Amino acid sequence: NTYSLLFPLLFDHLVIDSITYSVRSSFSMFPVVDDVKSLRAVDGKNTMLPIISLFYLVQVFTDYMAQERERGITIQSAAVTFDWKSYRINLIDTPGHVDFTLEVERALRVLDGAVAVFDASAGVEAQTLTVWRQAEKHHVPCVCFLNKMDKPAANLRFSVESIKQKLKVTPVVLQFPIGSGKNFSGVVDLLTNQKLLWKRGSLGDDGQVFESKPLDLLDETELLQEIKEARAALIEQVADLDDEFAELLLTDFSDNFDAVPSVKLQEAVRRVTLARKGVPVLCGSSLRNKGVQPLLDAIAAYLPAPSERHHDLVQWYKDDLCALAFKVVHDRQRGPLVFLRIYSGTLKPQTAVHNINRNSTERMSRLLVPFADQQVEIPSMTAGNIALTVGLKQTVTGDTIVSSKASAAAAARRAHSDRGAAQRRGEHASVVLSGVEVPDPVFFCTIEPPTMSKQADLENALNCLQREDPSLKVRVDPDSGQTILCGMGELHIEIIHDRIRREYGIETDLGPLQVAYRETILHKVSTTDTLDRTVGDKRHVVTVELAVTPVDILSAGGTCQLAFTEEMEAQLSTETKEAVENGVHSAYLQGPLLGYPLLGVSSLIQSVKMEPGTSPAMVSACLSRCMLKALRLAGGQVLEPMMSLEVTVGEEHLSTVLGDLSQRRGTVRDIQSRHDSKVLLANVPLAEMMGYSTILRTITSGNATFSLELDTYEAMTPQDQNTLLKRMSGLL
- DSSP per-residue letters across 384-450: T-EEEEE---S--TT-EEES-HHHHHHHHHHHHHHTHHHHHTT-----S----PPPPP-EEEEEE-S
Count, in order, helices (H) and strands (E) of the chain: 22, 35
Average pLDDT over residues 565-571: 89
User: What's the CATH superfamily of 443-516?
Assistant: Elongation Factor G (Translational Gtpase), domain 3 (3.30.70.870)
Distances (CA, A) of 54 to 2, 29, 147, 289: 9, 19, 21, 14
Rounded CA separation 108/359 (Å): 26
CATH topology for 26-36+50-214+262-308 is Rossmann fold (3.40.50)
Query: What's the pLDDT score for residue 729?
Result: 81
Average pLDDT over residues 569-598: 91
Query: What's the pLDDT score for residue 459?
Result: 93
In 3D space, the residue among 568, 521, 560 whose CA is nearest the CA of residue 543 turns out to be 568
Axis-axis angle for helices 262-274, 221-241 (nearest 10)? 50
Task: Look up residue 304 and give its DSSP letter.
Answer: P
Angle at 189 between CA 187 and CA 193, to 5 degrees: 115
Identify the CATH number of the domain defined by range 520-634: 3.30.230.10
Distance of CA 17 to the CA centre of its chain: 11
pLDDT in tens, 342-366: 999 999 999 999 999 999 999 999 9
- The proportion of the chain whose per-residue pLDDT surpasses 90, expressed as a percent, equals 46
Q: Which residues contact 595 (CB under 8 A, 6 or more apart)?
A: none
Q: Does the 313-423 domain belong in CATH 2.40.30.10?
A: yes
Query: What's the pLDDT score for residue 207?
Result: 74
Rounded CA separation 500/451 (Å): 15
How would residue 40 be classed by pLDDT, with cut points 50, 70 and 90? very low
Other beta carbons within 10 angstroms of residue 60's beta carbon come to 16
Rounded CA separation 665/682 (Å): 10
Angle at 419 between CA 413 and CA 420, to 5 degrees: 90
Provide the 3-class DSSP secondary structure of residue 199. Answer: coil
Average pLDDT over residues 430-445: 81
Rounded CA separation 360/143 (Å): 40
Average pLDDT over residues 285-312: 87
**Do 640-729 and 443-516 fall under one CATH topology?**
yes
User: Which residues, in sequence order, are bridge partners of residue 558?
Assistant: none
Query: What's the pLDDT score for residue 62?
Result: 62
Rounded CA separation 523/530 (Å): 23
How would residue 3 be classed by pLDDT, with cut points 50, 70 and 90? very low
**Which amino acid, residue 580?**
V
CB contact at 8 A, 50 and 44: no
CB contact at 8 A, 140 and 109: no
Question: Domain 640-729 - what CATH class?
Answer: alpha beta
Query: What's the pLDDT score for residue 556?
Result: 58
Rounded CA separation 173/161 (Å): 11
CB contact at 8 A, 496 and 485: yes
CA dihedral 435, 437, 441, 442 (to 10 degrees): -170
Q: Which stretches within 138-278 are classed as H helix?
A: 156-167, 221-241, 243-252, 262-274
How are beta strands 443-448 and 509-510 bridged, if at all? antiparallel
Rounded CA separation 384/371 (Å): 17
CB contact at 8 A, 685 and 641: yes
The CA radius of gyration of the chain, in Å to the nearest whole number, is: 29
How would residue 436 be classed by pLDDT, with cut points 50, 70 and 90? confident
Query: What's the pLDDT score for residue 63?
Result: 64
Query: What's the pLDDT score for residue 462?
Result: 94
- Where is 549: in which H helix or E strand? strand 538-550
pTM of the model: 0.74
Please say if the pLDDT value at position 142 is more than 70.
Answer: yes
Please say if the pLDDT value at position 136 is more than 60.
Answer: yes
Query: What's the pLDDT score for residue 6?
Result: 32
Please say if the pLDDT value at position 589 is more than 50.
Answer: yes
Query: What's the pLDDT score for residue 29?
Result: 32
Between 54-68, 82-96, 461-475, the lowest mean confidence (pLDDT) is in 54-68
pLDDT in tens, 380-406: 999 989 999 999 999 999 899 999 999
- The proportion of the chain whose per-residue pLDDT surpasses 70, expressed as a percent, equals 87
Rounded CA separation 372/78 (Å): 5
Please say if the pLDDT value at position 638 is more than 70.
Answer: yes
Q: Where are the chain's structural domains?
A: 26-36+50-214+262-308, 313-423, 443-516, 520-634, 640-729
CB contact at 8 A, 456 and 380: no
Average pLDDT over residues 166-174: 94
Please say if the pLDDT value at position 99 is more than 60.
Answer: yes
CA dihedral 172, 177, 180, 182 (to 10 degrees): -120
